[in-house]
Structure 1
Amino acid sequence: MGIRKKTTNKNPPVLSHEFVIQNHADIVSCVAMVFLLGLMFEITSKFAVIFITVQYNVTISTNEGSEETAVNHFHHGIKDLATIFFYMLVAIIMHAIIQEYVLDKLNRKKHFSKTKHSKFNESGQLSAFYLFSFCWGTSILLSENFLSNPVSLWEGYPHTLMPFQMKFYYICQLGYWLHALPELYFQKTKKEDIPRQLVYIFLYLVHIAGAYVLNLNRLGLVLLVLHYFVEFLFHVSRLVYFSNENRQMGFTVWAVLFVVGRLLTLSLSVLTVGFGLATSESQGFNWAAGNFNILFVRITVLAGICLTQAFMMWKFINFQLRRWREHSQAQTLKKKQVPAKSKSKKEKANGVNGVNSHGANSPKAIKEKSS
């Protein structure tokens, strides 16, 4: 009989940092189940509904022909914070599922280094989210005819009432980017990477929440869909590059679309906020009516968008310069290696010819001749 090795199970202490990190998905799932179970009881269902369902429903009757149809719309309020919190928990669970069943399996096959491992996980998570958000946002734009009628981006402002899909889209967007904050702890993010990730998480939260609260939800939706498409291409190109470093065509396509995306973002923002809202009839500040169409708010919104686009272009230029330097360094190394190899071949050939040519004048040959 073979001797069985003793298995050492090193389980971390309960509620320790390592325990929470290893089991955070199960812990969050239990918290989410508490809200779902609350729907089963009449006493707790009133509170559980606030977390799970979309709040602030408004029913509007419309006349289509001879029949009246009721259409549900929604506006925002303080109770949305509870709904955002619940879908933040859902985002943490989905993050763990993608990580465990998709990305970890690919990492085991590819055997990435620690640096590539973290970047691969980041791009894998973000590419899945960007693809889902882009497809969902595009379907809303097509169903609401925002692309075919660009005037609707500012016409009829303030857009306090939203269809269900648009409001739920914003709730999920805010929940996802809020979930990215605890994920920095759960994923053991390196200290040098935390400031970079905090910056883009903060930018996403400020812009999405700003469009949601200021009732610029239509413009925000268009800009998010445009931005997510460009970012999806970048992270897919990054994943392809990690699998094969010779495949860099995706970065070239992304670079062109990135610049086009920045120009479109600035153009739509100036057209909607700078011209459309400036010439709108509903001027003035009214918190109760959701009207924020005053000069100070318009300048603040445009300044925030322009500064963000300038910051992204600055990061983009630095990224392209770094890639150009790395490429030029690689080319110079190749040029240095090629002459060295050719020189060594010539030396070997000269050495063989020298032995053959001087072999006749060797001491052994002279002795043979004299004898």
Structure 2
Amino acid sequence: MGLRGRRANKNPPVLSQEFVLQNHADIVSCLAMLFLLALMFEISAKIAVPFVTLQYNVTIPATEETADPITFYHHGIKDLATAFFYMLVAIILHAVIQEYVLDKINRRMHFSKTKHSKFNESGQLSAFYLFSCIWGTSLLISENYASDLTTLWKDYPHTLVSFQMKFFYVSQLAYWAHALPELYFQKTKKEDIPRQLIYIGLYLFHVAGAYLLNLNRLGLVLLVLHYFVEFLFHVSRLFYFSDENRQKGFSVWAVLFVLGRLLTLILSVLTVGFGLARADNQALDFSTGNFNVLPIRISVLASICATQAFMMWKFINFQLRRWREHSSPSQALKKKSVSVKSKPTKKEKENGINGTVTSNGADSPRNKKEKSS
């Protein structure tokens, strides 16, 4: 069964731009299938294995404490090949969710073009954030990172990780890498591309940084915390698109957003600024994966603080813009022209709050218009 969605009656020319856009999921599926078929033959298996399976495994022999041998993994250049293959998988899953879930809802709801684009974005990200939160939380519980915060910096560098931990990071890199070609496949508007590139770049930079600097434990905690807040926002936006009266989720998200930024800063300073700073081994050593030196610690904290400050700046500007729109005197005149019978009070004239305002198009909730008396 193809993953093409609705298409015009006249088929576009083969290998044309429209053909690639309409059939990109099928093309990527065939490419991913080639890697899987290559595993069946001895000649091509050596090339296909680094793409499909995780590399750089280290087996620790059984001891008195562990009856069976334990396999751990570390990172290397071959992880790029693995991330590329799972990027193809992410593109396929993106097309499946789009065609069999989001497109069906869009046809029923009859959204405008703006809401249609925002609904698709929130739908895709909600599914990813939910899956990542569940996966990340299970890792936190199984690895006992949530119960003991000292494990975030204890015994650094954390070069050897479990299969699930490495697969989690490779999957994260693959997902955010797949978002780049999706800008082309989904025909993203030119005015939306800079915003998309900024947050995709930030995700790739921080996830890859935590993975390569062996700060995978701290990165896992911060990702789960951040993904939970983002999941709440996009779910609230989905409910808002279906019914504009459903706005309570945005209020809860606003509170958790601020708390999430504070917790991120506290955990980062506690781990990098205090935990790693007091560690005995503070010598740069690429062979052992030790990056616990002052310049790198400062760079890590500066990067995290700058990102959190940027997010808070965007958040505050958004809230201030909404507040200004709600208190704009021009909106009072607009409301007066619509509802002639309803006369504003003296206090409302002074404060300029009469009528309703749209806060940010389809991207944010609007107050319900008051009925004229």
Structure 2 length as normaliser, TM-score?
0.87
Q: Rate the CA distance shift 1:333–1:63 in 2: closer, same or farther, 3 A.
A: farther
SS at match of 1:340: coil
Residue in structure 1 matched with residue 347 of structure 2 by the alignment: none
Residue in structure 1 matched with residue 365 of structure 2 by the alignment: none
SS at match of 1:63: coil
Distance 2:236 2:85 in 1: 32
Residue in structure 2 matched with residue 161 of structure 1 by the alignment: 160
Per-residue CA deviations over 1:140-172 (Å, capped at 9, x if unaligned) read: 000000010100100000000000000000000
Distance 1:22 1:68 in 2: 53
Residue in structure 2 matched with residue 28 of structure 1 by the alignment: 28
Decide which moves more: 68-77 or 214-223. Answer: 68-77
Residue in structure 2 matched with residue 219 of structure 1 by the alignment: 218
Distance 1:338 1:125 in 2: 38
Report the AA paired with residue 38 of structure 2: G
Per-residue CA deviations over 1:321-369 (Å, capped at 9, x if unaligned) read: 23323444597368626861258xxxxxxxxxxxxxxxxxxxxxxxxxx
Residue in structure 1 matched with residue 254 of structure 2 by the alignment: 255
Residue in structure 2 matched with residue 203 of structure 1 by the alignment: 202
SS at match of 2:147: coil
Equivalent residues in 2 for 1:1-371 (5 A)?
A: 9-65=9-65, 68-328=67-327, 332=332, 336=336, 340-342=340-342
Distance 2:241 2:290 in 1: 48
Distance 2:273 2:96 in 1: 43
Q: Rate the CA distance shift 1:84–1:20 in 2: closer, same or farther, 3 A.
A: same
Residue in structure 2 matched with residue 359 of structure 1 by the alignment: none
Report the AA paired with residue 293 of structure 1: N
CA contact (8 A) 1:61 1:68 kept: no
Distance 1:130 1:72 in 2: 28
SS at match of 1:293: coil
Q: Rate the CA distance shift 1:256–1:43 in 2: closer, same or farther, 3 A.
A: same
Deviation of residue 63 (structure 1)?
2.9
SS at match of 1:69: coil
Residue in structure 2 matched with residue 3 of structure 1 by the alignment: none
Report the AA paired with residue 82 of structure 2: T
CA contact (8 A) 1:73 1:161 kept: yes
Deviation of residue 301 (structure 1)?
0.4
Q: Rate the CA distance shift 1:324–1:35 in 2: closer, same or farther, 3 A.
A: same
Distance 2:127 2:50 in 1: 28
SS at match of 1:58: strand
Per-residue CA deviations over 1:291-333 (Å, capped at 9, x if unaligned) read: 0111000000000000000000001111212332344459736
Deviation of residue 47 (structure 1)?
1.3
Deviation of residue 61 (structure 1)?
2.7
Distance 1:188 1:122 in 2: 12
Distance 2:158 2:145 in 1: 13
Q: Which one has a bigger Cα radius of gyration? A: 1
Report the AA paired with residue 341 of structure 2: K
Deviation of residue 64 (structure 1)?
4.5
Per-residue CA deviations over 1:175-211 (Å, capped at 9, x if unaligned) read: 0000000000000000000000000000000000000
Q: Rate the CA distance shift 1:61–1:111 in 2: closer, same or farther, 3 A.
A: same
* RMSD of aligned alpha carbons: 1.6
Per-residue CA deviations over 1:83-121 (Å, capped at 9, x if unaligned) read: 000000000000000000000000000000000000000
Identity %: 76
Report the AA paired with residue 161 of structure 1: L
Report the AA paired with residue 34 of structure 2: V
Q: Rate the CA distance shift 1:10–1:301 in 2: closer, same or farther, 3 A.
A: same
Per-residue CA deviations over 1:205-254 (Å, capped at 9, x if unaligned) read: 00000000000000000000000000000000111111111111100000
Deviation of residue 10 (structure 1)?
1.5
Distance 1:25 1:342 in 2: 55
Query: 5+ unaligned residues in a row in structure 1: which ranges?
Result: 1-7, 344-371
Residue in structure 2 matched with residue 348 of structure 1 by the alignment: none
Q: How many residues align?
A: 335
Distance 1:188 1:322 in 2: 29
Query: 5+ unaligned residues in a row in structure 2: which ranges?
Result: 1-7, 344-373
CA contact (8 A) 2:152 2:271 kept: yes
SS at match of 2:63: strand
CA contact (8 A) 1:234 1:250 kept: yes
Structure 1 length as normaliser, TM-score?
0.87
Decide which moves more: 16-25 or 317-326. Answer: 317-326
Report the AA paired with residue 260 of structure 1: L
